[in-house]
């Protein structure tokens, strides 16, 4: 492949520092060209770590000829305006999850990408993870038979400092605490990943959700506990339980599960499966680890696969629509919790 693609980052906060800038550095097909943030010291810090240039001006970043694609990691309510601006400037975009905080915003982002003929992807992990791609193939081939249920559990116990400084304290900010800027709490922040993962693995489409949520222990606007029931188009039922202030988290680390009429999958590391009937070389009647290969150690493969989609002029592995689909379930759950009624997905 030709020269490495120049990437510009918009937002040089926690996730850029922890995961994505190292991923760009580890990638084979990309390099960090310019780091941008409205806080100069953060842009400068990322640039210095990776030998890139830095700026506080989004126009300067988007006008930079070395920047062919942009990674956007800013507070959620800014995903739309910055993504639309970058796409309209002719850049390809990898935006953090959730794609946006409203479906209208997600639709505008997807439409702009189409009009501009540029790639729009969302930094969900499942589609970029070869192990999940293999598992999806096994499920489609009938590993656990007809899927009857899914289960998502997230039990967190976030420190008070998380709400104003994330996990690392790199950026002091209150965007996570407010509905308008974050879109919500633990559901849209954390388990939106799981909604995407289970949809990718099973292909099931949620048609109706019923949710109850509240805030019990955290002085913020958004929920710290939520329970959601999902009905899928094939008749299967999903449950989601997520908390960000559950004392002690969960020492057993419960993992997401997929139930079928012939088996059950636990999405741990390793992924394990219990089968009622043998499948290929896998015996029935005992819990078995699945050999799906090893997990990527960093975001290098995600960045490389994003760049390959751009170079090959095809859809990325995670599309804007994938981002919208996960968001639609989260927003329907919030609406349901407000109405105390089930909400149908359109
Ligand atoms: N922190 C994590 O562990 C984590 C993990 C996965 C995904 N994410 C996602 O990454 C995104 C960013 O989260 P974060 O934790 O890095 O937040 P953060 O608050 O640490 O960083 C956000 C950065 O955006 C900058 N910013 C604000 N407005 C800007 C603008 N107009 N132009 C450029 N920069 C601007 C801020 O100065 C800040 O440095 C969110 O979508 C979040 O859900 C975070």
Model confidence band, residue 280 (pLDDT cutoffs 50, 70, 90):
very high
Q: How far is CA 14 from CA 22, 76, 283, in A?
A: 12, 14, 44
Identify the CA nearest to 80 among candidates 101, 61, 59, 63.
Answer: 101
- Check pocket membership of 300 for ligand 1, CB cut-off 6 A: no
- Check pocket membership of 125 for ligand 1, CB cut-off 6 A: no
Identify the CA nearest to 71 among candidates 118, 22, 8.
Answer: 8
Model confidence band, residue 255 (pLDDT cutoffs 50, 70, 90):
confident
37 pLDDT above the threshold of 90 = yes
For 320-336, write each residue's pLDDT tens digit: 999 999 999 999 999 99
- Check pocket membership of 148 for ligand 1, CB cut-off 6 A: no
Model confidence band, residue 2 (pLDDT cutoffs 50, 70, 90):
low
Question: What does the pLDDT read at residue 285?
Answer: 98
- Check pocket membership of 147 for ligand 1, CB cut-off 6 A: no
Residues whose CB falls within 8 Å of the CB of residue 320, separated by 6 or more in sequence, listed in order:
99, 106, 109, 110, 113, 120, 121, 122
Q: Which atom of ligand 1 approaches the CA of 97 most closely?
A: 41
- Check pocket membership of 173 for ligand 1, CB cut-off 6 A: yes
- Check pocket membership of 96 for ligand 1, CB cut-off 6 A: yes
Mean pLDDT of 241-268: 92
Q: How far is CA 198 from CA 99, 268, 338, 346, in A?
A: 17, 13, 25, 19
Question: What does the pLDDT read at residue 9?
Answer: 98
Mean pLDDT of 211-218: 98
Mean pLDDT of 26-55: 98
Model confidence band, residue 1 (pLDDT cutoffs 50, 70, 90):
very low
Order the strands of the 225-232 sheet from edge to edge: 287-289, 272-275, 263-266, 257-260, 147-155, 237-243, 225-232, 206-214, 343-344
For 141-182, write each residue's pLDDT tens digit: 999 999 999 999 999 999 999 999 999 999 999 999 999 999
Rounded Cα distance, 210 and 204, in Å: 17
- Check pocket membership of 91 for ligand 1, CB cut-off 6 A: no
Q: Which domains does the chain have, with CATH numbers?
A: 5-124+299-317 (3.40.50.720), 127-293+327-344 (3.30.360.10)
Question: What does the pLDDT read at residue 252?
Answer: 76
Q: Which atom of ligand 1 approaches the CA of 95 most closely?
A: 41
How many whole angstroms from its chain centre is CA 20? Answer: 13
pTM score of the predicted model: 0.97
Rounded Cα distance, 139 and 316, in Å: 22
Do residues 197 and 157 lie in contact, with contact meaning Cβ atoms separated by under 8 Å?
Answer: no
Pocket test for ligand 1, best of 12, 15, 34, 40 (most atoms within 8 A of CB): 15
Question: What does the pLDDT read at residue 177?
Answer: 98
Q: Which atom of ligand 1 approaches the CA of 42 most closely?
A: 39
Q: Which atom of ligand 1 approaches the CA of 173 most closely?
A: 19
Q: Structure tokens of 307?
A: 């760049």
Identify the CA nearest to 226 among candidates 315, 83, 131, 333.
Answer: 333
Q: What percent of the chain has pLDDT over 90?
A: 95
Identify the CA nearest to 10 among candidates 120, 87, 128, 95.
Answer: 95
Q: Ligand 1: distance of its center to the CA of 183 in Å?
A: 14
- Nearest-CA residue for ligand 1 atom 27 is 74
- Check pocket membership of 184 for ligand 1, CB cut-off 6 A: no
Mean pLDDT of 73-87: 98
At residue 120, φ and ψ (nearest 5 deg) are -120, 120
- Check pocket membership of 170 for ligand 1, CB cut-off 6 A: yes
DSSP 116-141: HT--EEE--SGGG-HHHHHHHHHHHT
Pairwise pLDDT comparison (51 vs 269), residue with the higher score: 51
Rounded Cα distance, 231 and 238, in Å: 6
Rounded Cα distance, 253 and 315, in Å: 35
At residue 123, φ and ψ (nearest 5 deg) are -80, 50
48 pLDDT above the threshold of 90 = yes
- Check pocket membership of 78 for ligand 1, CB cut-off 6 A: yes
Q: Ligand 1: distance of its center to the CA of 15 in Å?
A: 7
Pocket test for ligand 1, best of 35, 54, 73 (most atoms within 8 A of CB): 73
200 pLDDT above the threshold of 60 = yes
């Amino acid at each position: 492949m030709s020269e490495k693609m120049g990437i510009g980052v918009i937002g040089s906060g926690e996730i850029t520092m922890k995961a994505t800038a190292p991923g760009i550095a580890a990638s084979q097909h990309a390099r960090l060209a310019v780091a941008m943030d409205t806080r100069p010291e953060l842009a400068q810090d990322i640039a210095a770590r990776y030998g890139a240039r830095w700026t506080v001006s989004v126009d300067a970043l988007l006008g930079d000829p070395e920047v062919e694609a942009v990674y956007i990691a800013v507070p959620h309510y800014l995903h739309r305006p910055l993504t639309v601006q970058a796409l309209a400037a002719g850049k390809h975009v990898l935006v953090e999850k959730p794609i946006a905080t409203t479906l209208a915003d997600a639709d505008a982002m997807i439409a702009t990408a189409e009009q501009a003929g540029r790639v729009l992807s969302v930094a969900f992990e499942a589609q970029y993870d070869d192990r999940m791609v293999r598992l999806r193939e096994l499920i489609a081939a009938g590993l656990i038979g007809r899927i009857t249920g899914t289960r998502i559990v997230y039990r967190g116990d976030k420190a008070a400092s998380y709400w104003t400084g994330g996990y690392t304290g790199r950026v002091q900010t209150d965007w996570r605490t407010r509905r308008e800027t974050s879109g919500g709490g633990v559901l849209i922040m954390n388990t939106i990943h799981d909604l995407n993962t289970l949809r990718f693995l099973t292909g099931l489409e949620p048609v109706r959700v019923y949710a109850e949520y509240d805030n019990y222990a955290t002085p913020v606007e958004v929920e710290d506990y939520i329970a959601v029931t999902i009905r899928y188009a094939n008749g299967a039922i999903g449950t989601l339980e997520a908390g960000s202030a559950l004392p002690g988290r969960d020492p057993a680390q419960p993992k997401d599960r997929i139930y079928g009429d012939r088996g059950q999958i636990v999405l741990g590391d390793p992924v394990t499966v219990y089968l009622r009937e043998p499948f290929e070389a896998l015996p029935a009647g005992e819990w078995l680890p699945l050999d799906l290969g090893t997990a990527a150690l960093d975001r290098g493969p995600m960045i490389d696969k994003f760049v390959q989609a751009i170079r090959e002029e095809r859809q990325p592995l995670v599309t804007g629509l994938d981002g919208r689909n996960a968001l639609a379930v989260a927003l329907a759950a919030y609406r349901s919790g407000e109405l105390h009624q089930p909400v149908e997905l359109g």
